[in-house]
């Protein structure tokens, strides 16, 4: 399972309209991961972590943004959970390029394409609220969190 930026943001921010759904979903996935402590169950992509930190600390998005320390603490707490790992490397260029050329979305969605390419490359299932990923990822690599 690979969470998208929007799932992490909603799970952390109490003032997010989808906080309860995202938080409960993430807690459920963490519980499943804890039952398989010797197995990687949740992969935090570097590009997702960077986007998460950029969004939750942004004063243009939140009237009272999270501090950098709060954002980092959230990620650190996830990484201390059994079965959760950080994947700092990204997609290989060929996979990213192929998705850019074949996806039915605008080029300004390059970050989403990068996330999708990483999920495909690592064989992970992306968990997201963003339905645009249906245009990029095959169904077996996508889980849309219900709002």
In this prediction, residue 1 carries a pLDDT of 93
CB 136, CB 16: distance < 8 Å: no
In this prediction, residue 104 carries a pLDDT of 67
Q: How far apart are CA 136 and CA 101, in angstroms?
A: 10
Distances from the Cα of 38 to the Cα of 5, 46, 141, angstroms? 25, 22, 22
Model confidence pLDDT, tens digit, residues 64-107: 999 999 999 999 999 999 999 998 766 677 887 888 778 766 76
In the chain, where the domains are located: 2-144
pTM, two decimal places: 0.82
Cβ partners under 8 Å of residue 36, min gap 6: 82, 83
In this prediction, residue 100 carries a pLDDT of 77
CATH says 2-144 is which class?
A: alpha beta
Q: Which residues of the chain have pLDDT under 50?
A: none
């Amino acid at each position: 399972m690979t969470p998208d930026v929007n799932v992490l943001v909603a799970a952390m921010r109490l003032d997010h309209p989808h906080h309860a759904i995202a938080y409960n979903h993430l807690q459920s996935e963490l519980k499943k991961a804890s039952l398989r402590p010797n197995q990687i169950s949740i992969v935090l992509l570097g590009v997702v972590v960077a986007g998460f930190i950029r969004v939750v600390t942004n004063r243009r998005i939140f009237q009272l943004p999270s501090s950098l320390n709060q954002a980092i603490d959230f990620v650190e707490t996830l990484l201390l959970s059994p079965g959760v790992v950080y994947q700092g490397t990204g997609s290989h260029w060929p996979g990213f390029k192929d998705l850019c050329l074949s996806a039915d979305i605008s080029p300004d969605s390059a970050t989403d394409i990068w996330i999708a390419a990483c999920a495909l490359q690592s064989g992970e299932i992306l968990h997201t609220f963003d339905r645009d990923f249906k245009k990029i990822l095959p169904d077996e690599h996508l889980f849309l969190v219900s709002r």
